[in-house]
Amino acid sequence: MAVYNSGRMKISTTARIALSLSSGLALALAYPSYKLPLLGWIAPAMLIFATLGATPQSGALLGFLQGVIYFPVSLAWIYEVLRQFGPLTPLQAAGVMAAISVAGSAFHAVFGASVAWVSRKNVGAACVLAPFLWVAQEFARMHLPDVGFPWNLLGYTASGNLALVQITTVTGIFGLSWLVAAYNALLAWMAVDSFTPKRGRAAAIWAGATAVLVTIAWAGPRWVPRAQADHVAHLVQTDFPQSMSYPADWMQIHAGELDELARMSVSAAQRAPGLVVWPEVPAPFSLQDPRFAARAEEIARHAGHGFLVGEEDWKRLPNGSYGNVTNSAALLDPRGNQTFLYDKIHLVPFGEYVPWRRWLTFTGRMTADIGDFHRGSEYTVGEIGGGRFGVFICYESIFPNEVRQFTKNGAELLVNISNDGWFGRDSAPAQHVAMARVRAVENRRWLLRDTNNGFTVSVDPYGRTVASLAPDIRGQLDAPYGFRSDLTLYTRYGDWIAWMSILAAVVIFLMLGFRRKQTPRAELS
């Protein structure tokens, strides 16, 4: 059994593996719905500590092992989605889940290998590198062509704290990831320092950092301003069961439920004048369908303050027929005329389209009943009484740099429509709303989030959920909101801290690359 000896610190191979596996499990449990966010402040430290002094090859393995535990546990809902709506057999769904886990784990492997390589030259430099490298790998994972997936970034483990999440107005979510990763690196350094003859310096720094963070997290929320709302919207939660296909007479079969939703929408808007919002398409809704168009126009006219509805929008081809279909949000004015249309830009891979279809022919079954959607191209901003708004649809809420484009284009209010019915009642809906909430803070905008079956909420520009509707019920939420026109540093400059992290990592690698290799002494026992 190989044992790394640096001073009086000895880490066996078994201990390293146990630490990396424990790190993956602890990190997964830090996200909803496990409700153990404090684990995010210690989980990466276990992996960092395990890789210190290891060979790059061993570091890669340790990072990979962390990932293959972390991804299946934190994203367990993907398997259920594939099983229910793929539709795939249990073996096929497990295979896709394994492929996703391996792909994500590759980034953690690079992280582990890099920290290990630097630590064999300088342990302190490895701990300094770690937070920059963590952010860099998260950023790279977000930008994978066609399949980028920045779900459950490290910063979200701390975003539930009203004080700490305010940093995202300057840095975006990657700044919060850097902060949490830096604390973990400090914790790992303290663990190493405790084995050295002159131990104590790292512990003192860690204690000071912990005291500052605890004070901010505990006392900070009371100093966060409260936003004043001067408008109300009516977010309608349709609560339709999810289905892979719909019969041609669906509108007739569900006429009674559609009448109920129309009455609910109109009565709410007449009682408290305001915009009516329906979620991302929970059923075969299209304004090119005369039956649904008539209903939508009637709701808009009787509600009297605008009707924003998710629909499948079919584009007319030059020959007059309908061709490409988009996942869209349309606004109808009080006269029933369409005045705004946003076509979803960032589609869900293997859900709304199949990337690399030419090579991955077996995935056709996964979208056979949904078909390929056409991608939108413009971050459209619309107008309602009092200001301008932007709509992002479902999965787009996890891409911070894309949501900020609406604010840059003049949106003074953000609206997120989603159909989280695809997720069932696993952890995904809670994770999804937690990420969408950060978009409100990053851009200092009110966020109205309307879903088919939860979570339907109104979030203020500082991240407070000021109104919410219980999941899995049919109802409407009186959602307060206001308009803001100021631009945050994040809105202006985007993911600057991620680019800075990449640059810092490159500089550290280059500086250490010119140093003579200092391999720690190894023992066998």
Measured CA to CA, the distance from residue 12 to residue 2 in angstroms comes to: 6
* Domain assignment present for 329: yes
250 and 207, same domain (yes or no): no
> 122 and 6 in contact (C-beta within 8 Å)?
no
Residue 228 included in any domain: no
Contact status, residue 401 vs residue 50, Cβ threshold 8 Å: no
Indicate whether 259 and 370 sit together in one domain: yes
One digit per residue, the tens of pLDDT, for the chain of length 525 reads 334 444 445 788 999 999 999 999 999 999 998 889 999 999 999 999 999 999 999 999 999 999 999 999 999 988 888 887 766 788 888 888 898 999 999 999 999 999 999 999 899 999 999 999 999 999 999 999 888 999 999 999 999 999 999 999 999 999 999 999 999 999 999 998 877 766 678 888 889 999 999 999 999 999 999 999 999 999 999 999 887 778 889 999 999 999 999 999 999 999 999 999 999 998 899 999 999 999 999 999 999 999 999 999 999 888 777 788 999 999 999 999 999 999 999 988 877 777 766 665 555 555 444 457 899 999 999 999 889 999 999 999 999 999 999 999 999 999 999 998 877 777 899 999 999 999 999 999 999 999 999 899 999 999 999 999 999 999 999 999 999 999 999 999 999 999 999 999 999 988 887 765 544 443 322
Tell me if 113 is assigned to some domain: yes
- C-alpha–C-alpha distance, residues 283 and 489, integer Å: 39
Whether residues 162 and 271 share a domain: the answer is: no
| CA proximity to 446, closest of 387, 377, 502, 504 | 387
The answer to whether 4 touches 17, Cβ cutoff 8 Å, is: no
Active site residue 198: no
CA distance 111 to 301: 56
Give the CA dihedral 355, 360, 363, 368, nearest 10 degrees.
70
Residues 188 and 310 in one domain: no
Q: Does the active-site annotation cover 394?
A: yes
Residue 4: what pLDDT?
Answer: 44
395 part of a folded domain = yes
CATH number of the domain to which 282 belongs: 3.60.110.10
Q: Are residues 82 and 125 in the same domain?
A: yes
| Judgement on whether residues 408 and 341 belong to the same structural domain of the protein | yes
- 312 and 290 assigned to the same domain: yes
Are 285 and 175 in the same domain? no
pLDDT at res. 352? 77
Q: Which of 297, 311, 352, 394 is catalytic?
A: 394
Q: Which of 138, 280, 312, 352 is catalytic?
A: 280
Residues 6+ apart with CB under 8 A from 391: 308, 329, 342, 380, 382, 406, 415, 416, 417
165 CB contacts (<8 Å, ≥6 apart)?
158, 159, 176, 438, 441, 463
In a domain, 17, yes or no: yes
- Given 138, 312, 344, 412, the catalytic residue: 344
279 within a domain of the structure (yes/no): yes
In a domain, 348, yes or no: yes
Within a domain: residue 434? yes
The answer to whether residues 177 and 295 belong to one domain is no
What pLDDT score was predicted for residue 516?
A: 57
Catalytic residue status for 127:
no
CA distance 401 to 283: 30
Residue type, 148: G
Tokens for 45, please give them: 């430290």
Q: Please give the biggest Cα pair distance in the chain.
A: 82
Same domain, 500 and 359: no
Range of the domain at 88: 2-223+495-524
- Regarding whether 462 and 334 lie in a shared domain, the answer is yes
Residue 356's pLDDT is what?
64
Distance of alpha carbon 308 from the chain centroid: 24
Other C-beta atoms within 10 Å of 437: how many?
25
Q: For residue 126, what is the DSSP state?
A: H
Peptide bond into 177 cis (omega under 30): no
- The tally of domains found in the chain comes to 2
- H-type helices in 54-197, by residue range? 56-74, 76-85, 90-119, 123-142, 168-171, 173-193
**Do residues 334 and 300 make contact, with C-beta atoms less than 8 angstroms apart?**
yes
The answer on 245 and 279 residing in a single domain is yes
What pLDDT score was predicted for residue 519?
46
